[in-house]
């Protein structure tokens, strides 16, 4: 599916990270090209979420490089990495629960807006203009989800949303940082089959209509199969397989990692 | 500029019956029904309910105007006397101002700032040093008020920077220690500068100039009241506007989930330090005004007791609620002033007290529960009275209440003589009982409520007369504990945090 | 007399000489042992609940009053009705047990209902508890300094007893019995604590709970009980410190909990919060710093110097001497 003339947007080179002697990510190389959906799969504890935490600056790698459009992200604080164009969602939802739905999406535009506190208190014309733009942009991102997050829901506190809608809101909030690449951490977790199907289509739309590049962690193989341009399998922090979904899914090393079969011993 | 500019900003007309394969349409109906439940409940019956509903639905600017109108009229009817205006009016306003600054730090940015009183004190001392005969500087207020704010901001910036890496946890201890160090510095250390102790030691700095703006002196209580009212309104509006901007959203996001906020492009620590500095500036300003109003800067006015009162105000009003600060300050300051000399208007206060208790009982939901409590309380009282009279002798039961009300002497145990710490132990006992009741559930609570109410009456008739200051402070301490357990968001706070 | 503080300090150092320095070091170590005991309570509760238990200093204060109460119940130090060794042991026993119960009660009523509340709620509740305890003590004691008169214990007719006898002398600086008792008791209690934490089943449960409360409870650990026990043990240590404070420094007073607690907390931070050896080391360090500040610059500077140390550590080494940087769980 992937068009050839794409250049690398996100590059990880020989990335390593360990917690107290335990290697969680071990010499990982990974490239994500523009307008591509790449899925990362692997059993629990394979280091998938750690990978996201490394890219977004929550952890600092012990060794290796993280490049976004050629510029290094290592050592930057998370908010600067997001301002450079990396946004993410969390596997365990981390919405601003006591803020309204639209405020969640407005809050995450902090990095792309400028008005300081003095101008905010004085309500200068520039401030009002920017505030209108923030609201418009937020509404635009929310409208991506059709009826799900529309209308009366905007002014509801986020805690009143259903589980599936919270996942949608997390995606909208990440989109509102105006990123180049979206990291989605198990967007379909805890969803029913209908919702899962919907989210799969949505991720496709994000790439095709929204123009986002997407790096995805997902356990649900239907989702992975449905939208991935490329799949990468991790186990114990090491990349054990890469390629199309079919290639990876049938790779004996992947099967072994998931099922723990000792029949075919590979190195 | 946006990546999704081809997506319409306006929702396209909805596909007629909800998205076909999605969750059934009724789900959304249920969601909205649940979402509106609070509003429906708020729209209570009767004139009170209507007023509450009107207040809820009024725009915020109208609310502020209503407050200003009422507050501005007070000196002409309710608070006509100079003393009342000073104690009830002016001090409530100062507490409102202080509460607003604290609300930014605690309620919006979610920082536990326990050194807030020190910044308040710094503002007061800055005014005292620059606008008094102490060092012979008689600078006008238009210069000293900004300097007082600046003087509070500088140490705040240093503290915030020092604690930046672990703001949430360490700021509390650093600022608490800072408050204590400030007290020790002003009260005891008092280093010599230009031949004088810089803070005047335990006596403080007396005889400050009145607030003077461009040669115009504010001397009467009424003038000070209106000036403070204006200041408080400006501060409230500034905080409101800041809260409605990207800065306010970022503050609240950092309070809700600092990590998620950081990942959503918000420089959390920088914003928290900004909130901390902002709050300190407000405290410094109010400190200077307070110094001018009380014509002295004395370090004991900036102790931890004041801090607790401020926290009680913010928490009673509700985390993050600006209107709540006004309510909290009015409730706390008025009740504080009210309790102070109980010998003023004793019978009026007594009726109010028992009225309040009966009102609280009557509000309990199933009527028979209220009846049980009322009967239980009355019966318990007579029983205790009889037992005490029989066991301990009449000296324990034949004391007189403060004023008349002879009917009480058969119900409330009032010792005739001063029995050591009897009343103080009663009071502590009551406080513990209240905490116990707060932690009980269902009928256990009902059963425990009767003796507790009786104990309340006992305490009212025996204690508050003798040592009002400390008892009120204990009450605030307990209020913090009980409120946190029962309704952590405070009276007007809306945040509802779910238990995952 | 110079005007500048710095010159005063230099003069003072010259005037006191080596003997003076040694006296200050001795005072600092004894005082620091008390800080260490209290710091352990802070650090244990922080380790397990991530809660700054502001009320802990006031538990210590209540401990001093409990010890005093036992002393008075048996006639007071000037005319005790029982021999002084069992009396002191009884004071320790009652104060430690009583403080432990107070600590558990605080946890039960003020913190347990807030297990799942936002983090600021228990902190405010802690503030309320501290304030309640402090002002209640003020009300019940009428702000009195209750004197232990510990010097007279074991003496005849109010004369000096054995507590102030020197055990040994270094460079003419005597180290008295009570000082040795304070330091040895502190060491013994810390050793016992380390044994509990690293050698018993309860200790294992405590470490598991502090590592991940949710996971620990899923593994069948009764975390509520573990937390109660943590408060109990921490408060017992504070109760012991309370009695020793009364015997060594001399009085029980409602406000000491706040000040002492603040410094002990600083000790916990300086040592590295969450670390047991860190709390011990930090306690002694703060005690010594305070003693030297008092001796050279004057008592009015001691709190400000300790505060300066706190700020310095937060700027230079926020994890403390022995603390390790925490890894955020996402």
The residue-averaged pLDDT of A1-24 equals: 78
Q: Which residue of chain B comes nearest to C326, CA vs CA?
A: B166
Helix (H) or strand (E) holding C251: strand C251-252
Q: Is C125–B259 a contact, with Cβ atoms under 8 angstroms apart? A: no
Residue A92 domain flag:
no
Residue A64: burial class (beta carbons within 10 Å; 0-12, 13-18, 19+): middle
Q: Is B252–A107 a contact, with Cβ atoms under 8 angstroms apart? A: yes
Give the neighbours of chain A: at least 3 Cβ pairs within 8 Å: B, C
Question: Which chain C residues contact residue B427 at CB under 8 A?
Answer: 139
CB atoms under 10 Å from CB of B262, counted, come to 23
Between residues 132 and 171 of chain C, which touch chain B (CB distance below 8 Å)?
132, 135-136, 138-140
Nearest CB partner across the interface for B241, out of A121, A160, A161: A121
Please give the Cα distance from B230 to B237 (Å, whole number).
Answer: 11
Residue-wise pLDDT tens digits, C90-122: 999 999 999 999 999 999 888 988 887 777 888
Q: Are residues A247 and A264 in the same domain?
A: yes
Q: Which residue of chain B comes nearest to A132, CA vs CA?
A: B245
Q: Is C330–A90 a contact, with Cβ atoms under 8 angstroms apart? A: yes
Residue C281 domain flag:
no
Poorest-pLDDT segment among B288-302, B368-382, C95-109: B368-382
How far does CA C99 lie from the centroid of its chain?
12
Q: Which domain holds residue A150?
A: 97-178
The residue-averaged pLDDT of B417-435 equals: 74
Contact C65, C141 (CB under 8 A): yes
CB atoms under 10 Å from CB of A194, counted, come to 14
Helical H segments across B318-441, by residue range:
322-339, 346-362, 367-392, 422-439
Distance from CA of A120 to the nearest CA of B (A): 6
Beta pairing class for A213-217 and A181-185: parallel
Q: Which domain holds residue C198?
A: 45-254
Q: Which residue of chain C comes nearest to B171, CA vs CA?
A: C314
Q: How many domains does chain A have?
A: 2
Closest to C176 measured CA to CA, from C297, C7, C23, C10: C23
Q: Is C54–B176 a contact, with Cβ atoms under 8 angstroms apart? A: yes
Residue C296 domain flag:
no
Q: Is A131–B246 a contact, with Cβ atoms under 8 angstroms apart? A: yes
Q: Is B245–A127 a contact, with Cβ atoms under 8 angstroms apart? A: yes
Residue-wise pLDDT tens digits, B98-130: 999 999 999 898 888 999 999 999 999 999 999
Interface test with B, best of C120, C138, C256 (most B CBs within 10 A): C120
Beta pairing class for A63-68 and A71-72: antiparallel
Distance from CA of A146 to the nearest CA of B (A): 7
Closest to A176 measured CA to CA, from A54, A78, A82, A42: A82
pLDDT band with cut points at 50, 70 and 90 for residue B463: low
Residue with tokens 């997902």: A218
Q: Are residues A17 and A144 in the same domain?
A: no
Residue B18 has pLDDT above 90, yes or no: no
How far does CA B25 lie from the centroid of its chain?
45
Q: How many domains does chain C have?
A: 1
Residue with tokens 């009764």: C222
A90 touches chain B (CB under 8 A): yes
A129 touches chain B (CB under 8 A): no
Identify which has the larger pLDDT, B304 or C70: C70
pLDDT band with cut points at 50, 70 and 90 for residue B419: low
Please give the Cα distance from B241 to C54 (Å, whole number).
Answer: 34
Q: Is C330–A58 a contact, with Cβ atoms under 8 angstroms apart? A: yes
pLDDT band with cut points at 50, 70 and 90 for residue B274: very high
Question: Which chain C residues contact residue A58 at CB under 8 A?
Answer: 328, 330
The residue-averaged pLDDT of A132-152 equals: 86
Helix (H) or strand (E) holding A9: strand A8-19
Identify which has the larger pLDDT, B477 or B309: B309
The CA-based diameter of chain A, rounded to the nearest angstrom, is 71
Q: What is the DSSP letter of A86?
A: E
Parts of chain C with a pLDDT under 50:
1-2, 329-330
Residue-wise pLDDT tens digits, B133-148: 888 889 999 999 999 9
The pLDDT, as a whole number, for residue B12 is: 45
pLDDT band with cut points at 50, 70 and 90 for residue B404: low
The pLDDT, as a whole number, for residue B467 is: 55
Q: Is B265–A112 a contact, with Cβ atoms under 8 angstroms apart? A: yes
HSE, side-chain direction, 13 A CA sphere, residue B12: 10
CA–CA distances in Å: residue B138 to residues A14, A95, B484 = 68, 53, 46
Residue with tokens 């920077």: B161
Q: What is the DSSP letter of A151?
A: G
C300 touches chain A (CB under 8 A): no
Identify which has the larger pLDDT, A45 or B396: A45
The pair of three-digit structure tokens given for residue B121, joined into one six-digit string: 């004190």
Closest to C94 measured CA to CA, from C64, C137, C123: C64
Between residues 97 and 116 of chain A, which touch chain B (CB distance below 8 Å)?
97-99, 103-104, 106-113, 115-116
Residue A131 domain flag:
yes
Distance from CA of A138 to the nearest CA of B (A): 9
Distance from CA of A91 to the nearest CA of C (A): 9
Q: Are residues A186 and A168 in the same domain?
A: no
Q: Which residue of chain A comes nearest to C324, CA vs CA?
A: A20
The pLDDT, as a whole number, for residue C330 is: 47
Closest to C306 measured CA to CA, from C290, C320, C318: C290
Helical H segments across chain C, by residue range:
5-49, 56-73, 84-106, 120-141, 177-199, 201-211, 213-218, 223-248, 256-271, 276-297, 302-316
Residue C4 domain flag:
no
Phi/psi of residue A14, nearest 5 degrees = 50, 45
Contact A172, B37 (CB under 8 A): no
Q: Are residues A22 and A152 in the same domain?
A: no
Contact B300, B472 (CB under 8 A): no
Q: Is C327–A19 a contact, with Cβ atoms under 8 angstroms apart? A: yes
Mean pLDDT, chain A, integer: 88
Distance from CA of A197 to the nearest CA of B (A): 10
Query: Would you state the CATH architecture of domain B58-339?
Result: Orthogonal Bundle (1.10)
Q: Which residue of chain A comes nearest to B36, CA vs CA?
A: A156
Residue-wise pLDDT tens digits, B43-60: 556 666 777 777 777 788
Distance from CA of A265 to the nearest CA of B (A): 41
C-alpha triplet C127, C129, C130: angle, nearest 5°: 65
A152 touches chain B (CB under 8 A): yes
Contact B321, B490 (CB under 8 A): yes
The pLDDT, as a whole number, for residue B19 is: 39
The pair of three-digit structure tokens given for residue A145, joined into one six-digit string: 């989800």
Distance from CA of A98 to the nearest CA of C (A): 11
Last residue within a domain, chosen from A128, A144, A178: A178
Residue B36 has pLDDT above 70, yes or no: no
Do you know the residue count of chain B?
500
Nearest CB partner across the interface for A110, out of B7, B35, B265: B265
The CA-based diameter of chain C, rounded to the nearest angstrom, is 68
pLDDT band with cut points at 50, 70 and 90 for residue B498: very low
Give the neighbours of chain B: at least 3 Cβ pairs within 8 Å: A, C
Residue A125 domain flag:
yes
Residue C22 domain flag:
no
Residue B419: burial class (beta carbons within 10 Å; 0-12, 13-18, 19+): middle
Q: Which residue of chain C comes nearest to B481, CA vs CA?
A: C125
Poorest-pLDDT segment among A132-136, A186-190, B114-118, C242-246: A186-190
CA–CA distances in Å: residue A248 to residues A49, A69, B94, B232, C21 = 20, 27, 69, 66, 73
Helical H segments across chain A, by residue range:
48-55, 78-84, 101-107, 117-122, 125-143, 163-175, 193-208, 221-227, 245-250, 252-259
Contact B148, B287 (CB under 8 A): yes
Residue B283 has pLDDT above 90, yes or no: yes
- DSSP letters for C25-74: HHHHHHHHHHHHHHHHHHHHHHHHH----TTHHHHHHHHHHHHHHHHHHT
DSSP, collapsed to helix, strand or coil, labels residue C150 as: helix
Within 8 A by CB and 6+ apart from B144, the residues are B126, B127, B130, B131, B288
Q: What percent of chain B is modeled with pLDDT above 90?
A: 33
Residue A90 domain flag:
no
Question: Which chain B residues contact residue C139 at CB under 8 A?
Answer: 424, 427-428, 467, 470-471, 474
Contact A245, A228 (CB under 8 A): yes
Contact B256, A99 (CB under 8 A): yes
Q: Is B180–C119 a contact, with Cβ atoms under 8 angstroms apart? A: no
Beta pairing class for B196-197 and B211-213: unpaired
Q: What ipTM was predicted for this assembly?
A: 0.91
Residue-wise pLDDT tens digits, B160-219: 888 776 666 778 888 988 999 999 999 888 888 888 888 988 889 999 999 999 989 998
Nearest CB partner across the interface for B184, out of C50, C303, C330: C303
Residue B365 has pLDDT above 70, yes or no: no
The residue-averaged pLDDT of B344-369 equals: 71
Q: What is the DSSP letter of A18?
A: E
The pair of three-digit structure tokens given for residue C223, joined into one six-digit string: 């975390």
Residue C267 domain flag:
no
Residue C135 domain flag:
yes
Distance from CA of C317 to the nearest CA of B (A): 10
Please give the Cα distance from B29 to A147 (Å, whole number).
Answer: 13
Residue C20 domain flag:
no
Q: What is the DSSP letter of A242?
A: E
Q: Are residues A12 and A53 in the same domain?
A: yes
Give the neighbours of chain C: at least 3 Cβ pairs within 8 Å: A, B
């Amino acid at each position: 599916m992937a068009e050839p003339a794409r250049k690398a947007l996100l590059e990880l080179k020989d990335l390593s990270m360990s917690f107290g002697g335990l290697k969680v990510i071990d010499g990982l190389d990974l490239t994500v090209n523009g307008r591509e959906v790449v899925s990362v799969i692997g059993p629990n504890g394979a280091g998938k979420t750690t990978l996201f935490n490394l890219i977004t600056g929550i952890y600092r790698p012990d060794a290796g490089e993280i490049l976004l459009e050629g510029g290094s992200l290592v050592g930057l604080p998370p908010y600067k990495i997001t301002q450079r164009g990396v946004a993410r969602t969390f596997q365990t939802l981390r919405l601003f629960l006591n803020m309204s739905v639209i405020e969640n999406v407005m809050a995450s535009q902090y990095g792309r807006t400028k008005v300081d506190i003095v101008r905010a208190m004085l309500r200068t014309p520039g401030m009002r203009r920017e505030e209108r733009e923030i609201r418009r942009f937020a509404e635009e991102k929310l409208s991506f989800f059709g009826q799900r997050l529309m209308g009366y829901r905007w002014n509801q506190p986020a805690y009143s949303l259903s589980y599936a809608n919270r996942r949608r809101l997390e995606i909208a909030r990440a989109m509102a940082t105006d990123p180049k690449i979206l990291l989605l951490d198990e967007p379909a977790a805890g969803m029913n089959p209908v919702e899962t199907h919907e989210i799969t289509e949505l991720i496709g739309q994000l790439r095709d209509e929204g123009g986002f590049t997407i790096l995805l962690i997902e356990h649900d193989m239907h989702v992975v199969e449905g939208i991935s341009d490329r799949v990468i399998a991790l186990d114990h922090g090491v990349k054990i397989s890469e390629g199309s979904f079919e290639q990876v899914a049938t790779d004996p090393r992947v099967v072994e990692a998931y099922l723990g079969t000792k029949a075919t011993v590979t190195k | 500029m946006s990546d999704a500019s081809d997506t319409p900003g306006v929702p396209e007309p909805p596909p007629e019956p909800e998205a076909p394969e999605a969750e059934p349409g009724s789900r959304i109906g249920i969601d909205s029904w649940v979402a509106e439940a609070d509003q429906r409940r708020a729209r209570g019956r009767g004139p009170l309910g209507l007023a509450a509903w009107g207040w809820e639905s009024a725009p915020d600017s109208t609310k502020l105007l209503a407050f200003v109108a009422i507050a501005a009229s007070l000196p002409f009817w309710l608070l006509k006397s100079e003393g009342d205006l000073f104690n009830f009016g002016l001090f409530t306003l100062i507490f409102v101002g202080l509460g607003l600054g604290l609300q930014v730090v605690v309620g919006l940015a979610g920082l536990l700032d326990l050194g807030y009183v020190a910044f308040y004190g710094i503002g007061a001392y800055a005014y005292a040093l620059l606008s008094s005969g102490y060092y012979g500087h008689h600078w006008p207020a238009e210069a000293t008020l900004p300097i007082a704010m600046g003087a509070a901001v500088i140490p705040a910036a240093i503290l915030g920077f020092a604690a930046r890496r672990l703001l949430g946890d360490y700021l509390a201890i650093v600022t608490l220690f800072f408050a204590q160090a400030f007290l020790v510095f002003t009260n005891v250390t008092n280093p010599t500068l230009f031949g004088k102790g810089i803070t005047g030691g335990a006596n403080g700095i007396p005889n400050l100039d009145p607030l003077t703006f461009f040669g115009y002196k504010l001397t009467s209580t009424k003038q000070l009241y209106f000036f403070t009212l204006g200041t408080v309104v400006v501060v409230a509006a500034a905080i409101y506007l800041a809260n409605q901007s990207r800065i306010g959203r970022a503050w609240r996001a950092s309070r809700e989930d600092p990590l998620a906020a950081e990942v959503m492009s918000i420089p959390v620590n920088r914003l928290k330090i900004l909130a901390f500095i902002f709050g300190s500036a407000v405290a410094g300003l109010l400190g200077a005004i307070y110094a001018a109003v009380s014509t002295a800067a004395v370090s004991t006015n900036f102790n931890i007791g004041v801090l607790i009162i401020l926290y009680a105000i913010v928490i009673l009003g509700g985390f993050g609620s600006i209107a709540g600060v006004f309510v909290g300050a009015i409730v706390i300051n008025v009740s504080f002033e009210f309790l102070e000399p109980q010998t003023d208007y004793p019978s009026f206060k007594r009726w109010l007290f028992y009225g309040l208790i009966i009102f609280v009982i009557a509000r309990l939901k199933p009527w028979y529960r209220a009846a049980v409590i009322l009967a239980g309380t009355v019966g318990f009282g007579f029983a205790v009275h009889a037992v005490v009279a029989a066991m301990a002798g009449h000296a324990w039961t034949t004391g007189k209440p403060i004023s008349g009300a002879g009917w009480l002497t058969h119900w409330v145990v009032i010792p005739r003589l001063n029995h050591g710490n009897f009343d103080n132990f009663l009071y502590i006992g009551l406080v513990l009982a209240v905490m116990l009741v707060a932690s009980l559930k269902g009928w256990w609570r009902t059963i425990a409520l009767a003796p507790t109410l009786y104990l309340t009456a006992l305490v009212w008739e025996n204690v508050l007369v003798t040592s009002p200051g400390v008892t009120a402070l204990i009450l605030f301490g307990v209020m913090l504990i009980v409120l946190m357990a029962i309704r952590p968001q405070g009276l007007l706070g809306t945040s509802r945090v779910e238990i995952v | 007399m110079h005007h500048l503080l710095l010159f005063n300090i230099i003069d003072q150092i010259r005037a006191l000489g080596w003997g003076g320095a040694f006296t200050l070091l001795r005072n600092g170590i004894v005082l620091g042992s008390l800080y260490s005991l209290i710091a352990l309570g802070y650090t244990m509760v922080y380790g397990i609940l991530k809660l700054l238990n502001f009320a802990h200093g006031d538990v210590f204060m209540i401990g001093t009053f409990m010890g005093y109460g036992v002393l008075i119940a048996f006639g007071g130090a000037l005319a005790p009705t029982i021999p002084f060794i069992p009396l002191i042991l009884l004071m320790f026993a009652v104060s430690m047990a009583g403080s432990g119960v107070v600590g558990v009660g605080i946890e039960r009523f003020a913190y347990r209902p807030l297990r799942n509340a936002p983090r600021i709620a228990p902190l405010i509740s802690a503030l309320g508890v501290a304030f309640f305890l402090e002002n209640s003590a003020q009300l019940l004691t009428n702000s009195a300094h209750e004197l232990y008169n510990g010097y007279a214990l074991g003496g005849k007719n109010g004369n000096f007893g054995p507590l102030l006898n020197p055990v040994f002398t270094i460079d003419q600086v005597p180290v008295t019995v009570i000082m040795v008792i304070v330091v040895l008791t502190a060491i013994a209690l810390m050793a016992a604590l380390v044994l509990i934490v690293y050698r018993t089943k309860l200790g294992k449960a405590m470490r598991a709970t502090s590592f991940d409360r949710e996971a620990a409870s899923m593994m069948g650990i009764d975390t509520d009980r573990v937390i109660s026990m943590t408060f109990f043990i921490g408060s017992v240590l504070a109760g012991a410190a309370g009695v020793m404070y009364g015997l060594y420094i001399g009085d029980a007073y409602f406000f000491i909990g706040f000040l002492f607690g603040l410094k002990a907390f600083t000790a916990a931070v300086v040592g590295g919060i969450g670390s047991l050896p860190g709390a011990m080391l930090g306690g002694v360090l703060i005690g010594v710093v305070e003693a030297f500040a008092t001796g050279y610059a004057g008592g009015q500077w001691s709190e400000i110097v300790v505060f300066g140390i706190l700020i310095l550590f937060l700027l230079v080494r926020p994890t403390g001497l022995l603390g390790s940087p925490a890894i955020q769980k996402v």
